[in-house]
Structure 1
Amino acid sequence: MNRTTRYFLIALLAAPFIFWTGPALAADSGLQVIPLAQYQLLSLESQTVHSPGTGVVVVGEELVLVGLYSRHWFGQDLDFDYPDTYHSIELMADGRNDRHRYLGFFKSESDRPVAGGLRTFQAAAVYGYEVVQQPRFSLVLGGGLAVSDFGIETAGGNPWALLPVPLIRAAWESTLLNANLDFITGPNVSLTLAPQSRLRATVDARIDQLRDERDLLFEGALIYRFFTPDHPVGDLAGVAVGIRSDTFEFARESADESIELHYYALFSTVDLTLLQLSGGYAFDSRVRYRERTNESAGDGWFISVSALYPLGGSHNGR
């Protein structure tokens, strides 16, 4: 079962806006609503992918809600008469109450999301309890249930759609290193070296499957922030350079019908918080059909633009 951490990154980016409206509103406000929009273009020698998207993030003191939709279309014809248009739908709810944690997510990436059956979506609901709560270290353990086509069949030949999954969340914070581990259907690791410095390094990595080295998706960056975390303006803007391993991956309704486009990229980013611009050189790409037919799409470039804007909190009693 695949899972992405993109919605967590967007939620973390949006969280500082809770405090932008000032102490009075922060005290009276329930939730902060933040619409966002994004567009990415990947241009390779034999293929291009356009990906516009939109969504909304809702942030509260003990709750984060994320809803994202993206449409992807391939500029050149795909093999095996595959359609050229695909859709991504991602929903996430992440809540807490004292030491209790609640998490639910839904993800569908397909030419026929949800309507294409179990193969085209994944969903899970989990509960965790913070068994260790210290100033620098936190550990949450728990579990829940996931729904998808896991490749397991019943005696009657139908897919086994429900499986138990663990929840492991560990976080360490210090002036030298911030580290986070999030494990439900696969490990997601985030590291920040020198988090209090204006010059810092970050690494984000996840593994969704265990087929080959391209299943390790990551982004490593050297970042310079314009302000320190204790500055009145906040630690909200900066520039970065780095390398990433990324993929477009879509499932189809029929068994063994899928398409992936994986690539590596050297990139630079200008982050103005409300507006983020990123672009760079894409290389060593690979298109994979049906989990076994591989071909190269060549090298090229990509650009990405994302924007968000906080609408303000909703006052109690309104």
Structure 2
Amino acid sequence: MIRTTPRLPVAMLAAWLMFGTGLTLAADPNPVASPTPSPATSPGLQVIPLAQYQLLSLESQTVHSPGAGVIAVSENLFLVGLYSQHFFAQDLGFDYPDTYHSIEFMADGRNARHRYLGFFKSESDRPVVGGLQTFQAAGVYGYEVMQRPGFSLVLGGGLAVSDFGIETPGGKPWPLLPVPLIRASWESRLLNANLDFITGPNLGLTLAPQSRLRATLDARLDKLRDERDLFFEGALVYRFFDSDHPMGDLAGVAVGIKSDAYEFALKAEDESLELHYYALFGTVDLTLLKLTGGYAFDSRVRYRERTSESAGDGWFISVSALYPLGGSRNDR
């Protein structure tokens, strides 16, 4: 099953920041008309480099994950690309390699009631070149069939590309499958809710969204093997400023619990690696810099989707940073 919500905490922050608040992170103080404006300074386009690092330290395994990428946001378009490398410090079973790569890209556009979504994701020791099983991609189109105050419903469909476990008569993997698009959103003073469905459900909830003290829940379901295929992050959040403050409703602190995992498909056929864990965490979010850390527990390493072993308990820390290069969001 394709995971339709990439693990991009910094990128998701920027998307929420831009689309959810309309805040201008950086504007040109002396805008001058130019016949050939550069992408980084064109009015209406915000370009934001980002960097992140995560360390997961368990009793029998340690994972280092540095990454970098870029976000581009305009009135009707959101683009994000991220590359991360994951290094396992202790030897893995079955002589698996210790270094893996993640390449993620997402494009989300709109034009009136039309919606366009494309994404690409590869997590492997040999991303893309390792074969169909090492990447997933999809392109979908949707139309907003219902638009009312506080509610929107988009329906559509498209095609996904990957190794879905379906073989042709010649024994080769069938690479294409049609997929639906369902995107629903509800906004009120009590609750904001978002549901995306392409190959699986992705749910986002915010209780008391206009309050400085709020509760959030993000969840998605990958595959249907056991309870660890349910990934979630629930948090109690306190924002430093109200939504009408000049600084915006952005910076704050949070405490919560999450279920997360590293998942890789190896170049060798039917070889896969997963490291799943639960965590209690705390976050300090300063908008351009975000620090998260906490206690990781009940971890499990799974090889070939069959052989499992515990990696013990431990801790994790994550640092994310972004900085806008220029551009303006004054076109809203």
TM-score, normalised on structure 2?
A: 0.91
Q: CA deviation at 1:47?
A: 0.2
Deviates more, 1:225-234 or 1:6-15: 6-15
Which letter maps to 1:102?
A: Y
Report what 1:46 is aligned to. Answer: 60
Deviations 1:116-138 (A, max 9, x none): 00000000000000000111000
Q: CA deviation at 1:230?
A: 1.3
Q: CA RMSD in A?
A: 1.8
1:288-303 aligned at under 5 Å gives the runs 288-303=302-317
- Residue 25 of structure 2 corresponds to residue 20 of structure 1: yes
Structure 2: distance between partners of 1:244 and 1:134:
33
Deviations 1:8-55 (A, max 9, x none): 624424525752345986x97131000000000000000000000000
Aligned length: 314
Greater RCO, 1 or 2 (C-alpha within 8 Å, sep 6+) = 2
Q: CA deviation at 1:5?
A: 3.6
More strand by share: 1
Report what 2:194 is aligned to. Answer: 180
Which letter maps to 2:96?
A: Y
Report what 2:12 is aligned to. Answer: 9
Contact conserved, 2:27 with 2:328, CA < 8 A, in 1?
A: no
1:80-119 aligned at under 5 Å gives the runs 80-119=94-133
SS in 1 for 2:12: helix
Report what 2:36 is aligned to. Answer: none
- Residue 307 of structure 2 corresponds to residue 263 of structure 1: no
Contact conserved, 2:154 with 2:182, CA < 8 A, in 1?
A: yes
Report what 1:226 is aligned to. Answer: 240
Contact conserved, 1:110 with 1:250, CA < 8 A, in 2?
A: yes
SS in 1 for 2:244: coil
Which 4+ stretches in 1 moved above 4 angstroms?
A: 22-25
Report what 2:44 is aligned to. Answer: 30
TM-score, normalised on structure 1?
A: 0.95
Report what 2:183 is aligned to. Answer: 169
User: Alignment partner for residue 195 of structure 1, among 209, 213, 221?
Assistant: 209
1:119-138 aligned at under 5 Å gives the runs 119-138=133-152
Q: CA deviation at 1:312?
A: 1.1
- Shift of the 13–99 alpha-carbon distance from structure 1 to 2, 3 Å rule, reads closer
Report what 1:276 is aligned to. Answer: 290
Contact conserved, 1:132 with 1:140, CA < 8 A, in 2?
A: yes
Structure 1: distance between partners of 2:14 and 2:119:
13
**% identical aligned pairs:** 78
SS in 2 for 1:313: coil
1:203-222 aligned at under 5 Å gives the runs 203-222=217-236
Contact conserved, 2:28 with 2:326, CA < 8 A, in 1?
A: no
Structure 1: distance between partners of 2:14 and 2:197:
18
Report what 1:153 is aligned to. Answer: 167
Deviations 1:183-227 (A, max 9, x none): 111100000000000000000000111000000000000000000
Report what 2:89 is aligned to. Answer: 75
Q: CA deviation at 1:238?
A: 0.1
Q: CA deviation at 1:245?
A: 0.2
Deviations 1:214-266 (A, max 9, x none): 00000000000000111111011000000000000000122220000000000
